[in-house]
Amino acid sequence: MEFLSPGSWPDALAARSEHPDAVAIAGGTDVMVELNFDRHRPPALLDLTRVPELAEWSRTDDGGVRLGAGVPYSRLMRELADLSPGLVMAARTVGSPQIRARGTVGGNLGSASPAGDCHPVLLAVDAVVEAASVRGTRTIPVADFFTGVKKHALEPDELIAAVLLPPGNGLEQFAKIGTRNAMVIAVTSFGLALHPGRQAVGAAVGSAAPTPRHARKAEEFLAAALADDGLWESRGAIPASTAARFGDLVAADAAPIDDVRGTASYRRHALSVLARRTLGWAWSDYQGAAA
């Protein structure tokens, strides 16, 4: 197996273009499992760990964050807790300290698993994937990135350069159900972001459909219900019936299956609970921010 180890981003893109059948490897926490179990034997590996540009994050002109695809979870947790609290909540639930020291958001996106923990939050905050090749750079809204089970919208000669996180307001949540607290693939997961400035709601489910996806009807219902009751302005308590309906719509927006980790009906039930619970947490943060 050929091992390509570029030391710069232009060299990495050139190598990608010359070897579109090479498998990129960042933290290797997904790729090495595939290789060790002999599920896949690619002709070449394209090591991205020596590309300094991928390991950086920076503030964008609009106040958001450009997160290099190769920043490991452990750094994300230390450095972005204030700027991207939802993604940090998700990062904290990934694997174990060893996995979080190596694993990256770029790798999570690259695997495009329906159960990837970053995805519901990235969807809820309307993040954008920055994809690059020797042909140039383009942006892909995360909502358009997942195209099927473990499939994504990258072209064969493209790599993920970064994830663009819009300016946040701290009103983000992530919750995950697993069979235990650590080292567990989500039975189901849920990401929520409240956007009072534009009176909008971001809500997305993981491990509950062929791809991670928005819960669109639930988003629309909640944004309208909060507006109708004047709650975006007053920050008053959300009626229990509104929270319950939101949970029901999230469950209805999902398309889960029965599998070894859980049944479809359990997943729907769990999602309705996670949706109500995270809404309560985010709303109480919103109320607290006004005090």
Ligand X SMILES: Cc1cc2nc3c(=O)[nH]c(=O)nc-3n(C[C@H](O)[C@H](O)[C@H](O)COP(=O)(O)OP(=O)(O)OC[C@H]3O[C@@H](n4cnc5c(N)ncnc54)[C@H](O)[C@@H]3O)c2cc1C
Return the residue of 64, 85, 86, 106 that touches ligand X, per CB under 6 A.
106
The residue (of 109 and 193) whose beta carbon lies closer to ligand X is: 109
* CA distance from start to end of the chain: 60
26 contacts ligand X (rule: CB under 6 A): yes
The residue (of 105 and 250) whose beta carbon lies closer to ligand X is: 105
Return the residue of 48, 192, 205, 222 that touches ligand X, per CB under 6 A.
48
Task: Name 248's Cβ contacts closer than 8 Å, sequence gap at least 6.
Answer: 272
102 contacts ligand X (rule: CB under 6 A): yes
Cα dist from 115 to 110, 284, 285, whole Å? 13, 28, 27
How many angstroms separate the CA atoms of 37 and 256, rounded?
27
The residue (of 117 and 253) whose beta carbon lies closer to ligand X is: 117
Return the residue of 57, 67, 108, 279 that touches ligand X, per CB under 6 A.
108
The residue (of 182 and 227) whose beta carbon lies closer to ligand X is: 182
- Is the distance from CB of 113 to CB of 152 less than 8 angstroms? no
Task: Name 147's Cβ contacts closer than 8 Å, sequence gap at least 6.
Answer: 153, 211
**What's the min distance (Å) between Cβ of 30 and ligand X?**
3
Return the residue of 5, 74, 111, 169 that touches ligand X, per CB under 6 A.
111
How many angstroms separate the CA atoms of 212 and 118, rounded?
10
Cα dihedral 46, 49, 54, 56 in deg (nearest 10): 180
Neighbours of 196 (CB within 10 A): 16
Q: Which helix (H) or strand (E) holds 58?
A: strand 57-59
The residue (of 65 and 243) whose beta carbon lies closer to ligand X is: 65
Task: Name 169's Cβ contacts closer than 8 Å, sequence gap at least 6.
Answer: 194, 195, 196, 197
Neighbours of 153 (CB within 10 A): 16
99 contacts ligand X (rule: CB under 6 A): yes
47 contacts ligand X (rule: CB under 6 A): no
121 contacts ligand X (rule: CB under 6 A): no
Span interacting with ligand X, options 93-101, 136-144, 238-246, 249-257, rule CB under 6 A: 93-101
Return the residue of 4, 13, 69, 121 that touches ligand X, per CB under 6 A.
69
Tokens of residue 101, six digits: 């020291």
Interaction residues for ligand X, span 122-161 (CB under 6 A): 159-160
Span interacting with ligand X, options 20-28, 57-65, 195-203, 208-216, rule CB under 6 A: 20-28
Span interacting with ligand X, options 24-32, 120-128, 197-205, 260-268, rule CB under 6 A: 24-32
* Site for ligand X, rule CB under 6 A: 23-31, 33, 48, 69, 93-95, 99, 102-104, 106-108, 110-111, 116-117, 159-160, 183, 185
